[in-house]
Chain A
Amino acid sequence: MKDLVRILIAPLVWLAAFSAVYGLHGVICGFAVDGTVFGLSLARVLLVTAYVLAILVQVVLLWALYQDRFSSASVFVNFVGRASGWVGVIAAVWTMLPAVLTTYCG
């Protein structure tokens, strides 16, 4: 089962993060969260923070997948696990990029 976890963990965490950021966006719009922090919109700060956190978690996971400590005895499992680790990083950067770029409740 640990080998399956190595393969599935990064995209699973991406899915959780993606859902969480979408949920956060829903809460911000649903409850009309406004106000400012350091002159920046609170909603934007929250969304960008969540975006950056999602990427950081994926980078940490990818780093861990390359460490001997967390590696499998199977070369194949390490390869697929690391490939899906890269999928997690790319998916986090690309799919949540709108948190930085677009209007949030328009």
Chain B
Amino acid sequence: MNVVTRHRRLDAIWASERGFRGWFSTVNHTDLGRMFLVTSFFFFIIGGILAMLIRAQLATPDSAFAGPDIYNQIFTMHGTIMMFLFAIPAFEGLAIYLLPKILGTRDLAFPRLTAYGYWCYVFGGSMLLVAMLLGIAPDSGWFMYTPLSNAIYSPGINTDFWLIGITFVEISAIAAAAEICVSILKFRAPGMTLAKMPIFAWYALVTALMILTGFPPLILGSILLEVERAFGFPFFQVELGGDSLLWQHLFWLFGHPEVYIIFLPAAGIVSTVLPVMCRTTLIGYGWIVAAIVALAFLSFGLWVHHMFTTGIPHMGLAFFSAASTLVAVPTAVQLFAWIGTMWKGRPELHLPMLHIMGFFATFVIGGLTGVMVAMVPFNWQVHDTAFITAHLHYVLFGGFVFPVFAGIYYWLPHVSGRKRFFRLGEFAFWLIFVGFHVTFFAMHWVGLLGQRRRIDTYTPEDGWTLINLISSVGSFVLSIGIAMVLLDVILHVLSSRKIRRNPWQAGTLDWAMMTPPPSYNFASLPHVDSRHPLADNPALPVRLAQGHGYLGTPRADWRETLMVDAATGRPEAHVIYPANTRLPILMSAVTGIFFLGLLLKTYWMVPIGMVGVAGLALRWVWMLGRRDDLGAQHVGQGVILPHASATDRSPGWWGSLFLMFANATLFGCLLFGFAFLWTVAPGWPPLVRFEPSFIELGVGVAAALGTALALRVAMAAVRNARATLPALGIALTGAVVFGACCAVMLWRAPPPVDHAYAATLFVLGSYGLFHAVLIVLMTGHLIARVWQGYTSPARRSEFAVVSLWGDYVAVIGSLVLLVGHLSGLSL
């Protein structure tokens, strides 16, 4: 088969539908990555316009540009959009577009999940935009602190838009994070060991793990606050045993790691682009990997430094102050590695390099003011002033936007296959750099003079007029610069010249393909022997195009790729992806019905949404099944592999593992919240408690454990070609009994509106019940599969997935019942 024939056949298999209809059915990572990026930059522009409105308001004293009500909406939406609808989705977009290319494979682990995540992001983000257009946008600040955000002080629908819209968007982040973890660990080019992974993959892996750990506390907090607002469960109401500080803990358990979740992918861009700009390789690869792992963990020990003024005892303050200073060390390790790389190489001042230099100058200043605010006495002085606003913009704009612009200009030729013609970008850079520093340096200054953040106006007597005017002028210069970048990109797409492959002479696999990239990335998959495969073997792209790698011969209409061992990169299994489908957009729309029902208090829509999602989810997994065994497949290079469904560790198993990790974090936060309220909140222990029953406890725990055991027996049975239905029947019965025990706990608990204790028990019981229903559905699905002849020893992977969930439910189910019943004991 010649190169052109291979290209045509692969493109016919992998391409999205032509025209705009393809947007709704595509599951291709290149298309979805571009869609994510374009959408995130659309939100970036809206967030930027809101920032200009803020600066217009503050440019002069006693400003009548916007009243306080509208101003509150403007700054809340600015923060919300930039954090949730721009920064995180921009990372997701870049990772979705780039990872399969840089890892030497054809797509991410779960293409339909990529599409589902994208549409959840679009629909959730649209909810917030609609609220803004209707003048009912969230207005309690992007931290949404209670009690300001509770139903007493914010009675309208504004806050509900935030809680529900953001939770909807976060589905996208969790989906992308689980997918990124599995893709990096299991969907790499054969031979690519952990030591040979491109550095961007390490950054993306650590960031994705942080999302899985960091986002669940906020999801839980949003659920609790929305339940409090809608039904009066008093989680954060101090007079009924709640505590508003619980919200702050949950929010900042997410919020501080979020800063690093935003910074780390940007640092990944710097670590990837900088060596190419310096014509060398990255110094200290191992040190950088250790540093980002350290940074990730340390970042979870800092959250209380946002709460230094809440009256926490000295020792608590000192723990978090110490951790906040320590986090500077791994950041510095990376900076020194980058400086060393520049020292070793021959830096060339191309446009991406200009933005990297802008990143260095800005981020280092932001880091240093970060060490300043880590000191408790200084923090007390500047808390909630414009100094903090300036600091966070130095960190986030310096640490994210400059590197992202570097990345845009670096990978733009990859996306478009064209070379820049106009030179607007350099001029735009200087406008952005100067405009940014004028804006936010002035903001440090006025903050030190005492200007509070989020004030809608000030008087001439405050003495802040000139500084604010300078800051506002700077912000408009900055905005003009960003507008010029957008113009530059549009001109690039419309009018530039075609380029040859790999214009930067980079060494990573993303440049070992045609540009713009074909739908299938690589005509055949490479075998990787070094960290810089393209630099070490410049002939690699041609050899791959000629089909000299793995899976070089297209078969049937299969979208094929390989799964590898996570550590060694040894090929493990053959994977066939699902084709284009509108199921993801349909499922996200039905998910939207669920959220819309909650938002509009039209609760009859909620069960419709839930049943719809469950039905579509079953359809989703049913489509992957086969009634015949595929058998081992020749994948090229003399390697024969089993299909992934013939293994116990299929992509679905790995995806479930990471999803479970996020789920366990949410559950852990719920237990933490319970312990926090019991320990710290006034009005505890509650006067009326749950009456424990050791019979219900024993039966429930035995049922949960029995379900897990039965599912394991079923897994062993299918592997040995024995009958599985008896074990599955026992598992189903066990799950029903466990669910009944949770339901009885809910039924017998004190009314959840009376006290935070009863409210928390209600959430615990509901969590257990939800998982019981999940296991019933999963087991029912397996029974239907067996019934219809979809299972065999070579088609057994779904048993391992359900068994994994059974194990999880056994653990959390036992804990739910233990905590519920034991909390009722009066000791």
Contacts and interface: CB of A to CB of B under 8 A. Distances in A.
Interface of A: 1-4, 7-8, 11-12, 14-15, 18-19, 21-23, 25-27, 29-31, 47, 72, 74-77, 79-80, 83-84, 87, 90-91, 94-99, 101-106
Interface of A (DSSP majority class): helix
Determine which residue in A18, A72, A79, A80 has the highest number of CB atoms from chain B within 10 A of its CB, and name it. A80
Contacts of A83: 286-287, 290, 294
B315 A104 contact: yes
B300 to A, nearest CB: 6
B698 interface: no
B92 to A, nearest CB: 22
A12 B286 CA distance: 19
12 contacts: A3-B567, A15-B300, A74-B195, A76-B286, A87-B293, A87-B298, A95-B322, A98-B315, A99-B315, A101-B318, A102-B314, A105-B313
B319 A22 contact: yes
B651 to A, nearest CB: 15
B567 A84 contact: no
B499 interface: no
A87 to B, nearest CB: 4
B15 interface: no
Q: Which 4 A-B pairs rank lowest in CB-CB distance, beginning with the nearest?
A: A98-B318, A76-B195, A11-B297, A83-B290
A75 to B, nearest CB: 8
Contacts of A1: 566-567
Nearest to A31: B679
A97 B321 CA distance: 11
B319 A12 contact: no
A53 B639 CA distance: 50
Given A22-B316, A29-B313, A101-B318, A84 B290 contact: yes
Contacts of A12: 297
Interface of B: 185, 193-195, 286-287, 289-290, 293-294, 296-298, 300-301, 313-316, 318-319, 322-323, 326, 330, 566-567, 675-676, 679-680
A48 B322 CA distance: 17
Contact of A91 (B194, B298, B316): B298
Contact of A11 (B293, B319, B567): B293
A80 B313 contact: no
A65 to B, nearest CB: 12
Given A23-B675, A29-B313, A106-B314, A77 B297 contact: no
B191 to A, nearest CB: 13
Nearest to B301: A18
B301 A74 contact: no
Nearest to B678: A30
Contacts of B323: 18, 91, 95
Contacts of A29: 313
A86 B825 CA distance: 43
A76 B567 CA distance: 11
B310 to A, nearest CB: 13
B314 A95 contact: no
B297 A103 contact: no
Contact of A30 (B193, B195, B330, B680): B680
Contacts of B322: 94-98
A91 B326 contact: yes
A77 B294 contact: no
Given A22-B319, A23-B675, A95-B319, A8 B293 contact: yes
Given A83-B286, A94-B322, 12 more contacts: A1-B566, A7-B289, A15-B300, A26-B316, A76-B195, A79-B290, A84-B290, A84-B294, A91-B294, A95-B301, A95-B323, A104-B315
A77 to B, nearest CB: 6
A97 B318 CA distance: 9
Contacts of B290: 79-80, 83-84, 87
A22 B680 CA distance: 13
B307 to A, nearest CB: 12
